[in-house]
């Protein structure tokens, strides 16, 4: 096969067609405007050598609910951000701890604390959908043949509801208040469908992304919940995308072997990152066997290895991944499991990223 452009290669991967070599993609979330000079060489590698994807956040077109927010002191290390969501049936309150010294935050209190709070949330009117889409077309023109522009739809309906309650209360309600969860998910599904219709009507596509399915995988939830919550409410969204001839990328960490067929059922065209033990429970070979010709695999080099292994080990991992997931010359984009994330450590991880990219590029020789 002739050498493809990056745009052609990603397009063919998303459509499960034969390609000249595996794709190679470096997730770059939050790094576009990062001024950390230690990542300068890695950024150059991304721009010059990889198959690129630029994400446009589609949630910007969804109107915000009536929210008020303010900070109040908490302790010597944290402030507390109090967020009030006003509804016709009373306010809902969320509290988040915000680090004063750059440390990670923590959600201390969720909007919905019991099943009865769902009625307040359900009383909210549907948000307006609208906005200027010109940034998408500008990004498309800038990208050219170097890659694609992907519209990120954000969290799927089920995971939005998990975040409203928190995982513990949600798990209890999955047994004691399941119908309430379904009502909430149906609302979020309708909002996502309205958003997808808005985007498609304006010519945005053909690549979309959605995440959050990982909230409903083992060990927190089993196969029944994955299908009843993820598949049931994702499928109307992906059907709209597919009816327009477009494709859907799904991001899901965790132990997915027991629900691997669920990603076909919910309409995923690309799955990232299909993690092997110990962080997941499915090997690349098993994932390929389950999804061959149906879902493209994107992964699976653990982000921790990019900082902790030697380049030779990364090359070996990539070669093994290609042997297990690309013998049919389709359906594989080599990629780390997450974006670079350690401040000041760019010079430590760049040799491993380079080893990963070089191992993929040499696969076409």
The gap from C-alpha 184 to its chain's centroid, in whole angstroms, comes to 21
Reported for 104-110, long-range contacts at CB under 8 A and 24+ positions apart, including other chains, are: 105/78, 106/78, 107/166, 108/80, 110/163, 110/164, 110/165, 110/166, 110/169
Per-residue pLDDT of the chain (365 residues; tens, 9 = 90+): 899 999 999 999 999 999 999 999 999 876 666 778 999 999 999 999 999 999 999 999 999 999 999 999 999 999 999 999 999 999 999 999 999 988 889 999 999 999 999 999 999 999 999 999 999 999 999 999 999 999 999 999 999 999 999 999 999 999 999 999 999 999 999 999 999 999 999 999 999 999 999 999 999 899 999 999 999 999 999 999 999 999 999 999 999 999 999 999 999 999 999 999 999 999 999 999 999 999 999 999 999 999 999 999 999 999 999 999 999 999 999 999 999 988 899 999 999 999 999 999 998 65
**pLDDT per residue over 210-246, tens digit each?**
999 999 999 989 999 999 999 999 999 999 999 999 9
The answer to whether 52 and 25 are in contact (CB under 8 A) is yes
Distances (CA, A) of 132 to 136, 141, 152: 9, 16, 16
The confidence score (pLDDT) of residue 101 equals: 87
The confidence score (pLDDT) of residue 199 equals: 98
Distances (CA, A) of 53 to 24, 27, 147, 151: 10, 8, 6, 10
CA pair distance 144, 33, nearest whole angstrom: 21
Which 8-state DSSP code applies to residue 24?
E
Closest-CA residue to 336 (of 361, 284, 300, 285): 300
pTM (2 decimals)? 0.95
The confidence score (pLDDT) of residue 209 equals: 98
CB-based contacts of 134: which residues, under 8 Å, 6+ apart?
A: none
Closest-CA residue to 21 (of 301, 298, 291, 360): 360
Q: What 3-state class would DSSP assign to 125?
A: coil
Burial of 157 (0-12, 13-18, 19+ CB in 10 A): buried
The confidence score (pLDDT) of residue 30 equals: 64
**pLDDT per residue over 10-45, tens digit each?**
999 999 999 999 999 999 876 666 778 999 999 999
The confidence score (pLDDT) of residue 32 equals: 67
Q: Which fold has domain 6-63+127-364?
A: TIM Barrel (3.20.20)
What is the domain partition of the chain in residue ranges?
A: 6-63+127-364, 64-112
């Amino acid at each position: 096969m002739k050498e493809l452009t990056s745009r052609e290669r990603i397009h063919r991967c998303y459509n499960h067609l034969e390609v000249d070599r595996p794709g190679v993609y470096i997730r770059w979330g939050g790094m576009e405007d990062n001024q950390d000079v230690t990542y300068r060489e890695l950024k150059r590698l991304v721009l010059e050598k990889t198959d690129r994807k630029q994400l446009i956040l589609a949630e910007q077109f969804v109107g915000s609910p009536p929210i008020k927010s303010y900070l109040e002191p908490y302790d010597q290390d944290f402030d507390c951000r109090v967020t009030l969501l006003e509804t016709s049936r009373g306010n809902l309150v969320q509290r988040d701890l915000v680090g004063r010294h750059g440390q990670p935050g923590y959600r201390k209190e969720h909007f919905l604390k019991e099943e009865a709070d769902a009625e307040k949330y359900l009383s909210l009117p549907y948000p307006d959908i609208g906005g200027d889409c010109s940034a998408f077309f500008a990004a498309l023109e800038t990208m050219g043949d170097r890659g694609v522009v992907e519209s990120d739809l954000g969290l799927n309906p089920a995971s939005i509801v998990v975040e409203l309650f928190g995982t513990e209360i949600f798990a209890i309600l999955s047994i004691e208040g399941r119908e309430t969860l379904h009502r909430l998910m149906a609302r979020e599904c309708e909002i996502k469908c309205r958003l997808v219709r808005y985007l498609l009507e304006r010519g945005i596509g053909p690549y979309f992304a959605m995440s959050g399915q990982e909230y409903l995988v083992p060990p927190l939830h089993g196969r029944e919940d994955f299908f009843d919550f993820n598949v049931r409410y994702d499928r109307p969204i992906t059907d709209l995308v597919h009816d327009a001839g477009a494709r859907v990328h799904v991001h899901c960490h965790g132990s997915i072997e027991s629900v691997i067929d669920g990603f076909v059922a919910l309409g995923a065209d690309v799955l990232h990152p299909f993690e092997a033990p110990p962080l997941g429970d499915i090997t690349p070979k098993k994932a390929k066997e389950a999804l061959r010709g149906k879902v493209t695999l994107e992964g699976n080099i653990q982000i921790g290895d990019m900082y902790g292994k030697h380049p030779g080990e990364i090359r070996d991992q990539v070669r093994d991944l290609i042997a297990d997931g690309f013998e049919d010359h389709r359906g594989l984009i080599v990629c780390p499991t997450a974006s670079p994330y350690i401040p000041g450590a760019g010079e430590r991880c760049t040799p491993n990223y380079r080893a990963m990219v070089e191992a993929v590029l040499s696969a076409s020789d």
